C-alpha cells in the first residue's frame, strides 16, 4: 500500500518487535510462571518458543511476500476475499475498548509504586501516556522505532545488571532434569506465558514501512522473538534465584523487589521507570498499528478524512480517531469501575482468533512445507482457544456479529 514512508531497518524492526512482546509482561509473567510451575518454568520458555515458532514463521513469510499496513486483515483478504478482510480488521480494532484500558492501567501502576498515586491520579497518568503516544505518532515510524530500540536496550541492561550484581552463574541455574519435569505444571505455565508472545499481529502492520521488507521484516521478526524469549528466560532465572514470587506478592513487584534488594531503595525509581517504558512501548506499537489499519481500510474512499496522510506521511487522522476511542474507553472503565482482569482475558481471545485467521490465510497463500507450518500454527491457535475456555466465546461471537452486520463492499 503506497503512501507510508519506507524507512525502517533491521535493528529498528528488532527493537519494535522485542518491546512489543516484552511490554506489559516482562515484569509480571516470570513471577506468575514461577508461582504456578516453580523450576519447571525454566523449561517452559524454550518449549513455548518452539511452539510459537511456526506461527512466527508464517507471519514472517506473509509479511515478506505481502507487506501492507493492513497487516493480518490484508493477508486474510488476499486469501478469502474483501468481506472477511473487513471483518478481520474490525475484529482487531475491537481490542481497543477491552485491551488498551487494561494495558494503560498496568503502565500507570508503576507511578503508583513510585509515588503512591490512586484513582484520579492514575487516570491522569493514563491520559498523559496517550498524549505521549500521540506526540510520537505524529512524527514517523522511525521515531517510534528508535525510541523502542532504546527501551529494549534499557530492559536488557536491567536484566544483565541483576545477573551481575546478584552473582548469577550458569551453574546456579536450577534447571530440573528432563525426567523430573512435571508435565501438568509445565502446561499450566505455558497457558500463562503464551500472552508474552502476543504482538506479532501488531508488528505485521509495519511491514510496508521497512526499506527492504522482503529481507528485513522476517529477520526482525525472528530475531526479536528470540531476543524477547531470552529476556523472559533471564528474568525467570532471577525471580527463582531470589525467590521473588509468591501468592502474597504482586507479580509486577518481583523485579523491583530484586532491584531494591541488590542496589538499595534508591534504585526503585530505575526499575519502575523501565517498567513504565516497557508498557509504553507495547502500547505505542499497538496504537500506531491500529492507526495504520484504520488508514488502510479507509483507502476504499481515498478522499475520506481517515484516508489522508500528514506532511510527514503519517496517518494522522486515523491516529486521532484511535486515540479518541482510547480516551473514551479509559474514562468509561474508570467511571464504571470495570474489572480489568476480565478485560484482559476477553482481549486475549480476540488475539488468538486473529492469529487463527492469519494461519488459515497462510494455508491458502503459502506452498509446500510452509503451508504445513501454517496448518500446525492453526492447530496451536485452536488449542489456545480451548485453554481460554468459555471466555473465548466473546471472540467467536464478535467474529460472527461482524460478519453479519458489516455490509459487503467492493475493494479498490
* pLDDT at residue 91, as a whole number: 92
Q: Do residues 64 and 214 lie in contact, with contact meaning Cβ atoms separated by under 8 Å?
A: yes
Residue recorded with cell 497457558: 191
3-state secondary structure 361-378: HHHHHCCHHHHHHHHHHH
* pLDDT at residue 391, as a whole number: 74
Distance CA 23, CA 106 (A): 10
Q: Do residues 354 and 402 lie in contact, with contact meaning Cβ atoms separated by under 8 Å?
A: no
| Backbone CA torsion sign across 119, 122, 128, 132 | negative
Residue recorded with cell 475498548: 97
* pLDDT at residue 342, as a whole number: 64
Cell reading at 412: 479498490
Question: Rounded to 5 degrees, what are φ and ψ at 147?
Answer: -65, -45
pTM: 0.88
Tell me, what DSSP letter sits at residue 142? H
* pLDDT at residue 340, as a whole number: 67
* pLDDT at residue 409, as a whole number: 53
Nearest Cα neighbor of 304 from 313, 312, 295 is 295
Q: Chain centroid to CA 184: how far?
A: 26
Q: Please count the residues of the chain.
A: 412
Q: Do residues 230 and 154 lie in contact, with contact meaning Cβ atoms separated by under 8 Å?
A: no
Residue recorded with cell 528432563: 178
Nearest Cα neighbor of 93 from 346, 294, 235, 246 is 294
Cell reading at 18: 522485542
Cell reading at 372: 504445513
* pLDDT at residue 411, as a whole number: 46
One pLDDT digit (tens) per residue for the chain, 412 residues:
447 888 899 999 999 999 989 987 888 888 888 888 888 888 888 888 988 889 999 999 999 999 998 999 999 999 999 999 999 999 999 888 888 888 888 888 888 778 777 878 889 999 999 999 999 989 878 888 899 999 999 999 999 999 999 998 888 787 787 777 788 888 778 777 877 888 888 889 989 899 898 999 999 999 999 999 999 999 999 999 998 888 777 777 888 899 999 999 889 899 999 999 999 999 999 999 999 999 998 887 878 899 888 888 889 999 999 999 999 999 998 888 877 666 676 777 888 899 999 999 999 999 989 999 999 999 988 988 887 777 788 888 889 999 998 865 544 4
Cell reading at 4: 507510508
Nearest Cα neighbor of 35 from 284, 267, 244, 341 is 244
Q: CB within 8 A of 211, min separation 6: which ones?
A: 6, 7, 8, 9
Query: What is the set of domains in the chain, with CATH numbers?
Result: 10-405 (1.20.1740.10)
Distance CA 309, CA 3 (A): 8
Distance CA 166, CA 402 (A): 52
* pLDDT at residue 112, as a whole number: 79
Amino acid at each position: 500500500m503506497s503512501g507510508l514512508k519506507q524507512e525502517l531497518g533491521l535493528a529498528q524492526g528488532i527493537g519494535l518487535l522485542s518491546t512489543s512482546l516484552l511490554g506489559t509482561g516482562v515484569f509480571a509473567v516470570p513471577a506468575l510462571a514461577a508461582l504456578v510451575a516453580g523450576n519447571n518454568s525454566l523449561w517452559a520458555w524454550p518449549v513455548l518458543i518452539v511452539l510459537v515458532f511456526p506461527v512466527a514463521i508464517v507471519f514472517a513469510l506473509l509479511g515478506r511476500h505481502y507487506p501492507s499496513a493492513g497487516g493480518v486483515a490484508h493477508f486474510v483478504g488476499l486469501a478469502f476475499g474483501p468481506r472477511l478482510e473487513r471483518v478481520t480488521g474490525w475484529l482487531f480494532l475491537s481490542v481497543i475498548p477491552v485491551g488498551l484500558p487494561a494495558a494503560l492501567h498496568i503502565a500507570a501502576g508503576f507511578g503508583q509504586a513510585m509515588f503512591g498515586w490512586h484513582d484520579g491520579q492514575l487516570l491522569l497518568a493514563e491520559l498523559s501516556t496517550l498524549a505521549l503516544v500521540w506526540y510520537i505518532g505524529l512524527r514517523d515510524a522511525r521515531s517510534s522505532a528508535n525510541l523502542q530500540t532504546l527501551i529494549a536496550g534499557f530492559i536488557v541492561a536491567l536484566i544483565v545488571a541483576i545477573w551481575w550484581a546478584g552473582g548469577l552463574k550458569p551453574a546456579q541455574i536450577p534447571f530440573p532434569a528432563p525426567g523430573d519435569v512435571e508435565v501438568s505444571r509445565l502446561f499450566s505455565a505455558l497457558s500463562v506465558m503464551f500472552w508474552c508472545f502476543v504482538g506479532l499481529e501488531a508488528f505485521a502492520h509495519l511491514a510496508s514501512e521497512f526499506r527492504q521488507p522482503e529481507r528485513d521484516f522476517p529477520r526482525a521478526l525472528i530475531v526479536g522473538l528470540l531476543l524477547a524469549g531470552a529476556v523472559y528466560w533471564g528474568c525467570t532465572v532471577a525471580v527463582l534465584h531470589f525467590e521473588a514470587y509468591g501468592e502474597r506478592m504482586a507479580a509486577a513487584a518481583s523485579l523491583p523487589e530484586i532491584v531494591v534488594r541488590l542496589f538499595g531503595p534508591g534504585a526503585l525509581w530505575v526499575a519502575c521507570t523501565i517498567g513504565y517504558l516497557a508498557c509504553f512501548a507495547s502500547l505505542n506499537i499497538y496504537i500506531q498499528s491500529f492507526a495504520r489499519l484504520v488508514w488502510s481500510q479507509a483507502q476504499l474512499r481515498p478522499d475520506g478524512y481517515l484516508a489522508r496522510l500528514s506532511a510527514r506521511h503519517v496517518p494522522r487522522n486515523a491516529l486521532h480517531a484511535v486515540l479518541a476511542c482510547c480516551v473514551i474507553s479509559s474514562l468509561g472503565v474508570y467511571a464504571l469501575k470495570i474489572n480489568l482482569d476480565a478485560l484482559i482475558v476477553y482481549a486475549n481471545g480476540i488475539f488468538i482468533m486473529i492469529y487463527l485467521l492469519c494461519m488459515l490465510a497462510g494455508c491458502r497463500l503459502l506452498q509446500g512445507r510452509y503451508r504445513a507450518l501454517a496448518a500446525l500454527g492453526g492447530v496451536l491457535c485452536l488449542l489456545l482457544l480451548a485453554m481460554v475456555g468459555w471466555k473465548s466465546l466473546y471472540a467467536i461471537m464478535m467474529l460472527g456479529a461482524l460478519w453479519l452486520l458489516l455490509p459487503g463492499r467492493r475493494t479498490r
